[in-house]
A and B are shown apart, each in its own frame.
Chain A
Amino acid sequence: MTGSHADPRAVAETSHTEAAEDLAQIRASVAEVLDGQADLRRTHEVMVGEQGYDPLLHELLTAELGLLGLVVPEHLGGLGLDVAAATAVIEELGARLVPGALATSLTAILAARALGPNAEPLLARVVDEQLTLAVALAEDGAGWDLEQTATRATGAGDEWALTGTKTVVAGVEAARVVLVTARNPGGELGVYAVDLAADGVDVRTHMTLDQTRRLSTVHLRGAAASRVDAPGGEGARVLLDHVRAMLALESAAAARACLDLTVDYLKVREQFGRPIGSFQALKHRCADLAVAVAGARATADHLVTTLRTGAATRSHDAALAKLVCADTLMTVAAEAIQLHGGIGFTFEHHAHLFFKRGKSTQLLAGSPTAVRAEVAALAGL
């Protein structure tokens, strides 16, 4: 994978080389661990298992590789690396459809970094206590429309109590703290951190259509919470944008992996005395998928740059990338099943994992229709 430049003007600069090498190294070491411990066969085992994620792998990635501290600022005990480091890890996890809360944690950490000083105690805890985080935004009826958030926060200062129900929360089964959007008595929307072990927190984890991504309902009845964003800010929006970013990055990488899987098969599967990949009808479909994957990759890369530079287009870029990348994964995965023939329709084969991941990515953090309308509004169309 190559690094990205937001702007052709950056082309001439070579000062990024060192950072790019660091990044490549992080990516490579994560990939090495995942290739050994989390190939798609392992994903199959884990997703049908009791817990829905792999605690040993989780331990390896967090405690041993120290990935949770990757982008936490140095003065809070982290490595203080660039946004790109966390996003590279999210991509590696996404490419292998790894179940669990590492991607959501890194997402929450990136969001917390962008929230300002109120989030610093939480970030310090992330490193000290190896906290895995989840993000709870959606509610019944409201979906991901922040305006309609009904969860209530009562209290003041650093002592808050949350009441409400959050649905389709990803990664809670492997998390210890959840970031929750809620409204204070003044009607203001904010972001709060809740320990999942606290009194008044009840988590129900569901079986899911996308078995690689378990989802939960989180009931909060006066659960103790601390506020992590700045009053008067746009913390909830920051959170939503980062969740979309995660989904975009994951699915751009997954789409690429799924295309590779398919192309490899077309090169070896023979019918009518020749590899089926030599049939133009199939070749052309793969070429169209390759173009779509390249486009998804470009929007994802652009989004990483947006996050890195703190550009004002964050909401727009995140919505657009989530839409494009999820749709691309869906398309590639649907074609993958078809192009594999009978084997593609089996549970044993991996194609359906991408297909199901594609659908959950499309529907999480805003449906394609809703996000399309949002993009139109944000772009002023």
Chain B
Amino acid sequence: MSDEQFRAEIRGWLQEALTGPFAEAVGTGGEGREHEAHELRREWERHLGRAGWIGLSWPTEYGGRPATLAQQVIFHEEYARAGAPGRLGHMSEQLLGPTLLAFGTPEQKARFLPRITSGEDIWCQGYSEPGAGSDLAGVRTRAVRRGDHYVITGQKVWTSLAHLADWCFVLCRTDPGSTRHAGLSYLLVPMDQPGVTVRPITQLTGTSEFNEVFFDEAVAAVEHRVGAEGEGWKVAMGTLGFERGVSTLGQQIGFRRRLDAVIARAHSNGAWLEPALRDRLVDAYIGLEVMRHSAVRLLASAGEGLSGLEASISKLQWATWNRSLGELAVDVEGAGALLTGPGYELDDAQTHFLFSRANTIYGGSNEIQRNIIAERLLGLPR
């Protein structure tokens, strides 16, 4: 299939799919909007899965479909362009799926991947803990082997979508005496069991998409450990390398929509005539162009997805850019941006302004990305 045919197909499908009940889902979900339309978006995941749009480039035996890198980019572009709902399954598809494909046993792949591609299972990521954020090797959550199960005790924090997820991929310590990177294991844990408690955390947006997750003798089957016991660090780092990738170009279509909205607003309320604001707006446009060319350039040389280092460069670029645009969005609005709807209901500019502060923290903070670039790209000493 040519790329143009592929584009026509996904575009046509989205147009058709986002009618009827799903018309209401348009524009819902995504950053700072995870509270919106859960049930409908869950159904949307299945709809997407049934039509074969999850797991592009994955083996067909797991419900994937052959797709080139360019086609994956096209999918994300069209998805963003159509304003299709924020994906509940993005961690399932973009983090866990590639991890299983790379490190999973044949049984694990057969067991979990088809349920991702069908949109059935939603996954969350259980890495961070109160004492282990940027320094993930500080993980303390324990898993003790008892027969064919691990028994897990400990606490995770900032776990996005844990309140909606069916499964969690959890980094825990299986060797009690171990420290740092050694002695960790990567376990797949069902959320629907007695030993798991999820407590939502209210974010500065007033909504909550992340949670505390308590494991109190929760269990995970030994056969659901990914990679060897004690080698969870390697697997976890593999996952981090998969974060983003081909979705970056699609993400930029979303960014462009936001930028256009801010510029349109500046034209309509006169902010565009303010030279200092106009310069910042043009710089935002230029910054997005730079990111677009950078992403194309990286993808052209990346083969499958981005390497960790390339991902660091693009993470730093987009997180910083989007945070600035959030600031610009409220500055363009002026004093009008100070008023919210009832119940701290935020408009787009306000949500953007507030939520984009998270971009430079999660997925490896700006500071951590800078360390990586300085040490691995520039070779500066540790």
Which residues of A line the B interface, CB within 8 A? 2, 4-12, 259, 263, 266-267, 274-275, 277-278, 280, 282-284, 286-288, 290-291, 294-299, 301-302, 320, 323-324, 369, 372-373, 375-376, 379, 381
Residues B3 and A381 in contact, CB atoms below 8 Å apart: no
Tally of A-B Cβ pairs under 8 angstroms: 122
Determine the chain A residues whose CB is within 8 A of the CB of B296 once the complex forms: 5-8, 298, 302
Please name 8 pairs of A and B residues whose Cβ atoms are closer than 8 Å in the assembled complex, sorted by A.
A5-B297, A12-B69, A263-B378, A283-B371, A298-B293, A372-B279, A372-B283, A381-B281
Distance between Cα atoms of A277 and B375 in the complex (Å): 9
Determine the chain B residues whose CB is within 8 A of the CB of A323 once the complex forms: 286
Distance between Cα atoms of A344 and B377 in the complex (Å): 23
Distance between Cα atoms of A373 and B294 in the complex (Å): 23
Shortest C-beta distance, B272 to chain A (Å), equals 8
Contact A287/B370 with A263-B378, A278-B382 known, Cβ cut-off 8 Å: yes
Residues A376 and B380 in contact, CB atoms below 8 Å apart: no
Contact A324/B300 with A286-B378, A295-B317 known, Cβ cut-off 8 Å: no
Contact A295/B370 with A6-B296, A287-B378, A375-B286 known, Cβ cut-off 8 Å: no
B70, B370, B382: the one within 8 Å of A288 (CB): B370
Residues B293 and A302 in contact, CB atoms below 8 Å apart: yes
**Interface of A, helix, strand, loop or mixed by DSSP:** helix
Contact A295/B285 with A4-B297, A8-B70, A278-B381 known, Cβ cut-off 8 Å: no
Shortest C-beta distance, B227 to chain A (Å), equals 30
Determine the chain A residues whose CB is within 8 A of the CB of B377 once the complex forms: 287, 290
B278, B290, B299, B373: the one within 8 Å of A287 (CB): B373
**Interface of B, helix, strand, loop or mixed by DSSP:** helix
Tally of chain B residues near chain A (CB < 8 A): 41
- Counting chain A CB atoms within 10 Å of each CB, which of B289, B293, B372 scores highest? B293
Contact A299/B290 with A283-B370, A376-B278 known, Cβ cut-off 8 Å: yes
B291 located at the interface, meaning its Cβ lies under 8 Å from any Cβ of chain A in the complex: yes
Contact A301/B297 with A12-B70, A266-B380 known, Cβ cut-off 8 Å: yes
Closest 7 CB pairs of A and B: A287-B370, A283-B374, A298-B293, A287-B373, A298-B294, A295-B290, A277-B380
Shortest C-beta distance, A362 to chain B (Å), equals 14
Shortest C-beta distance, B276 to chain A (Å), equals 11
Distance between Cα atoms of A220 and B297 in the complex (Å): 45
Shortest C-beta distance, B6 to chain A (Å), equals 10
Contact A12/B68 with A286-B374, A301-B297, A372-B282 known, Cβ cut-off 8 Å: yes
B263 located at the interface, meaning its Cβ lies under 8 Å from any Cβ of chain A in the complex: yes
Chain B 215-236 interface residues, beta-carbon cutoff 8 Å to A:
none
B379 located at the interface, meaning its Cβ lies under 8 Å from any Cβ of chain A in the complex: yes
Determine the chain B residues whose CB is within 8 A of the CB of A7 once the complex forms: 296
Residues A8 and B300 in contact, CB atoms below 8 Å apart: yes
B193 located at the interface, meaning its Cβ lies under 8 Å from any Cβ of chain A in the complex: no
Q: Assuming A263-B380, A278-B382, A320-B286, what are 9 further A-B pairs, CB within 8 angstroms?
A: A8-B73, A11-B70, A283-B380, A295-B317, A298-B294, A299-B293, A324-B290, A372-B282, A381-B281
B16 located at the interface, meaning its Cβ lies under 8 Å from any Cβ of chain A in the complex: no
Determine the chain B residues whose CB is within 8 A of the CB of A287 once the complex forms: 316, 369-374, 377-378
B330 located at the interface, meaning its Cβ lies under 8 Å from any Cβ of chain A in the complex: no
Distance between Cα atoms of A339 and B286 in the complex (Å): 27
Residues B382 and A295 in contact, CB atoms below 8 Å apart: no
Contact A9/B371 with A283-B380, A295-B291 known, Cβ cut-off 8 Å: no
B268 located at the interface, meaning its Cβ lies under 8 Å from any Cβ of chain A in the complex: no
What is the 8 Å Cβ interface bit string for chain B, positions 96-114, against chain A (1 contact, 0 not)?
0000000000000000000
- Counting chain B CB atoms within 10 Å of each CB, which of A10, A278, A283, A301 scores highest? A283
Shortest C-beta distance, B59 to chain A (Å), equals 19
Distance between Cα atoms of A198 and B371 in the complex (Å): 59
B367 located at the interface, meaning its Cβ lies under 8 Å from any Cβ of chain A in the complex: yes
Distance between Cα atoms of A105 and B281 in the complex (Å): 36
B171 located at the interface, meaning its Cβ lies under 8 Å from any Cβ of chain A in the complex: no
Residues B299 and A11 in contact, CB atoms below 8 Å apart: yes
Determine the chain A residues whose CB is within 8 A of the CB of B286 once the complex forms: 320, 323-324, 372, 375
Contact A376/B293 with A8-B73, A10-B300 known, Cβ cut-off 8 Å: no
Determine the chain A residues whose CB is within 8 A of the CB of B300 once the complex forms: 4-5, 8, 10-11
Q: Which residue of B has the minimal Cβ distance to A275?
A: B381
Chain B 340-382 interface residues, beta-carbon cutoff 8 Å to A:
367, 369-375, 377-382
B5 located at the interface, meaning its Cβ lies under 8 Å from any Cβ of chain A in the complex: no
Distance between Cα atoms of A179 and B345 in the complex (Å): 61
Residues A379 and B285 in contact, CB atoms below 8 Å apart: yes
Residues A277 and B294 in contact, CB atoms below 8 Å apart: no
